[in-house]
Structure 1
Amino acid sequence: MRTSRTFTTPRTGPGAVPRTAPRTPFRVRLSAVLAAVATVGALVTAGASTAQAADTPLRDLAAAKGKVIGTAVTGSKLTGTYGDLAGAQFSALTPGNAMKWGSVEPTQGTFNWTEADQIVAFAEAHGQQVRGHTLVWHSQNPSWLTNGTWTPAQLSTLLNDHIATEAGRYKGRIAAWDVVNEPFNEDGTYRSTLWYNGLGSGYIAQALTAARAADPAAELYINDYNVEGVNAKSTALYNLVKSLKDSGVPIDGVGLQAHLILGQVPSTLQQNIQRFADLGVDVAITELDVRMALPSDSTKLAQQKADFKAVTAACVAVTRCAGVTVWGFTDSDSWVDSTFPGYGAATPYDANYAPKPAYYGIAEALGGTQSTEGCAATYAITNQWNSGFTGQVTIACSGAALSSWHANWTFGSGQVITNAWNATCTQSGAAVSCANASYNGTVPDGGSVSFGFNASWSGSNTAPTVTLS
């Protein structure tokens, strides 16, 4: 299956920092880890196709910007193409479900660390960081916990013991923890949960304090959804973080989940990231996906590319934005289809592990430039008469793919284009440049697109050589 990547930029990164070093920001430790495991990255790509090995992974593009690019993963799938892509493309992994309370302690006092251990070991073997997700949440808790009758003292002990056990197990191996997940309602009030109802809003400070004691090296985050733009919910989160900082409670970052709908990236996203950064905390896009009404088509995929690019670019623009994590990198491993009936295709790769335009949107926002290696354009005259002719250009790819294209050539005999279809063509003197339409920019591996034009001519009508950019 195709796993080629068509963006290039030099590898960069500062010197290595041991995992036992004092706590430093998530975004700083990323590039250090990447530099320390350059040989690991080489080994990962050694078994890939020639085109794949020649391209630069998203993780290296992100490192050049001082950012993390991560993905949520399912531990049992970390083999074959899924494992190859997860290891080669991303600099951080988030266990999608393996570290949630219901997964690790399904029965009180009985623990199952199998999948969580697997993901952490995979990340370490591939020079990746791990984002722990999540220690305290209202959902996916074991029934013994949610159905129990607890006094505040008992609940407080359960909270402290769980954090000490889980964060302590992975001490020094987790770059950042989503310590508290989704504490707010949409209007900015506190969500009614086991923790809030039993302990009041103070459970948040308690959890953060316990996490710091369990793993002093990990960055500690509060994570929530629908807080990407400036609104009542994000303002409540802002006020909470400010209050925690003012009170000396350990809080290092804010996670903006970014489960978005096609075409609805908040216009205030970068402004919102910056205002949290101005509080002196890091910000991370932690669970990015962009769902669309099914079936997908070229217009929707083009908009999705623009959305992924806009979110990534907003993070790149703010120094204290640590990076972006996509919530699953392939449509076959996405939660969206089962959660939002009629919606899907929300990730950067399709179900067959082929990169979608969204992948290239991320790469472009990280400074990547598209390579046309493996793709070629063929020029043909399909009809000719005394004063004019019809031409056609076909762009085909093999072992590579394009998310957009420009076809360029220079006429040698005074030809002048009069109109074009399936492309936007401009001509200056003899030089012609034709760009894809909104609906046909994607050329998949093994696929092709064509566009045509009418033009005038006199004398001879020699076919030019077409180049791609």
Structure 2
Amino acid sequence: MTETSDLRHRSADAEITLTLDGEPLAGREVELSQVRHRFSFGCTAFEFTDYANGTSERPDGDERLLEQWEGLFNFATLPFYWGRFEPERGKPDTHRLLKTAEWLVGRGHTVKGHPLAWHTVTADWLLDLDNAAIAQAQTERIRREMNDFAGVIDMWDVINEVVIMPIFDKYDNGITRLCRDIGRIPMVRMVFDAAREANPGAVLLLNDFDMSAAFECLIEGVLEAGVRIDALGLQSHMHQGYWGEEKTLGILDRFSRYGLPIHFTETTLLSGHLMPPEIEDLNDYQIEEWPSTPEGEERQADEVERHYRTLVAHPAVEAITYWGMSDAGMWLGAPGGFVRADGTPKPSYERLHRLINEEWGTPPTTIATDAEGRLGCNGFLGDYTITWQDREAAFTLDAAGEQRLTLELG
């Protein structure tokens, strides 16, 4: 299994020659800062839709949460659950979501849409259609969203939880009906073909919570059928307890054998009591109160650090998305956020902040150039600036190993 401490694939050594008006900037102290990680540290941004659209009922609280969010993350997921996005056929919530996505991109964040096809929270009006019409509506929906959001959202969870999709029996829905009729692999092909046709340059994910061999069989069948998948999405909602390094590494090694980038798309770790182990469907655990506790918060902080260290160390992993910033509004009412419902940060927030911004980041650092205007640095892959007085130069560490750069201060 992959070790959890070797991060050479995440960093680069750089020898940089600085020039000013074409001459080496010799013997000067300059400031080096990392602006953005190449690795996608992500979280849901559902809670900022009203704030971005100027309709928030608590703008001060949202502004505070945004500041906390941006203290950790550079990658946002926005909701496209069909039943909420288009509860009435022909009236999608495009304007509001597009404005939110543009606002996030304008703040320097990459945005992903989740999901384009899913049997849960899907449109109720599909039940009035036959399967052929459901298929047509689904592919038209995908083309519409891919076109409307192109250039703003160019990454999508195209289809969600296909392993269970045709056998889902909690309630009747049009997508399960269709998948049961045509089969999993044709269903995946249909939605991926529609997405690829609409936005050929988009990054398209196959996402699932099922980490069993059933998901492996699905992936193999889809790939053998010639469907192009850009990345695999693996969910890790750990409401019943932290997986631990051994299980996590085992999952990573099993799914990395396909040679595809891996995104941990939905991660949750709790700071309160754990869900009982006998619960099979997490949605079945509904309780009135699920408080965060001091002991739980210390446990969560330790587990968050262990989980992120394990994932970042694995070379196949390109992104981690945490499923909720604050306990206010968390899925199932679980105490899984980095921030308590009252807006105060938990120990897990401080722990992850230190990892991302200090241990794996480069805070503003003063470095002196030599007589030839050269300086050396080592940093995590990403975007950087060098500043001297009122002059600045930008550069990117985009590949592990050694780089030699010459930069003109402008």
TM-score, normalised via structure 1 length: 0.58
For the residue of structure 1 that corresponds to 2:178, the secondary structure is helix
| One-letter amino acid of the structure 2 residue matched with residue 298 of structure 1 | P
Q: Percent identity?
A: 23
Do 1:270 and 1:314's aligned partners in 2 also have CA atoms closer than 8 Å?
A: yes
For 1:308, the equivalent position in structure 2 comes to 304
> Any residues of structure 2 matched to 1:329-408 within 5 Å, and which?
329-337=325-333, 344-363=334-353, 365-366=355-356, 368-369=358-359
Q: 1:113 aligns with which of 85, 88, 94?
A: 94
Do 2:155 and 2:202's aligned partners in 1 also have CA atoms closer than 8 Å?
A: yes
Do 2:166 and 2:183's aligned partners in 1 also have CA atoms closer than 8 Å?
A: no
Do 1:221 and 1:254's aligned partners in 2 also have CA atoms closer than 8 Å?
A: yes
Q: 2:314 aligns with which of 312, 318, 324?
A: 318
Distance 2:125 2:239 in 1: 35
For the residue of structure 1 that corresponds to 2:103, the secondary structure is helix
Distance 2:111 2:250 in 1: 27
Flag the structure with more relative contact order, 1 or 2, with Cα contacts below 8 A and sequence separation at least 6.
Answer: 2
| One-letter amino acid of the structure 1 residue matched with residue 94 of structure 2 | W
Distance 2:227 2:168 in 1: 21
Distance 2:12 2:89 in 1: 44
| 1:190 shift after superposition | 5.2
Q: Rg bigger for which structure?
A: 1
For 1:254, the equivalent position in structure 2 comes to 232
Go from structure 1 to structure 2 and tell me whether the alpha carbon gap of 1:261 and 1:104 turns closer, same or farther (over 3 Å shift): closer
Q: 2:194 aligns with which of 181, 206, 210?
A: 210
Distance 2:178 2:107 in 1: 36
Q: Output one character per residue of 1:270-309: Cα deviation in whole Å (capped at 9) or x when no partner.
A: 2212332220211111121223324433321111112212
Distance 1:306 1:194 in 2: 43
For 2:387, the equivalent position in structure 1 comes to none
| 1:330 shift after superposition | 1.1
Q: 1:80 aligns with which of 63, 66, 71?
A: 63
For the residue of structure 2 that corresponds to 1:110, the secondary structure is coil
For 1:328, the equivalent position in structure 2 comes to 324
Does residue 166 (structure 1) correspond to residue 145 (structure 2)? The answer is yes
| 1:181 shift after superposition | 0.7
Go from structure 1 to structure 2 and tell me whether the alpha carbon gap of 1:217 and 1:285 turns closer, same or farther (over 3 Å shift): same
> Any residues of structure 2 matched to 1:103-182 within 5 Å, and which?
103-145=84-126, 147-150=127-130, 152-182=131-161
The count of residues paired between Structure 1 and Structure 2 equals 295
Do 1:262 and 1:303's aligned partners in 2 also have CA atoms closer than 8 Å?
A: no
Unpaired segments ≥5 residues, structure 2? 1-10, 14-32, 53-61, 170-175, 274-289, 361-410
Go from structure 1 to structure 2 and tell me whether the alpha carbon gap of 1:277 and 1:363 turns closer, same or farther (over 3 Å shift): farther
Bigger Cα displacement from structure 2, 240-249 vs 206-215: 240-249
Q: CA RMSD for the aligned pairs? A: 2.7
Does residue 276 (structure 1) correspond to residue 255 (structure 2)? The answer is yes
Distance 2:229 2:249 in 1: 21
Distance 2:177 2:358 in 1: 45
Do 1:172 and 1:215's aligned partners in 2 also have CA atoms closer than 8 Å?
A: no
Does residue 184 (structure 1) correspond to residue 156 (structure 2)? The answer is no
Q: Output one character per residue of 1:50-93: Cα deviation in whole Å (capped at 9) or x when no partner.
A: xxxxxx99x94xx1xx4111111221145421233334532111
For the residue of structure 2 that corresponds to 1:89, the secondary structure is coil
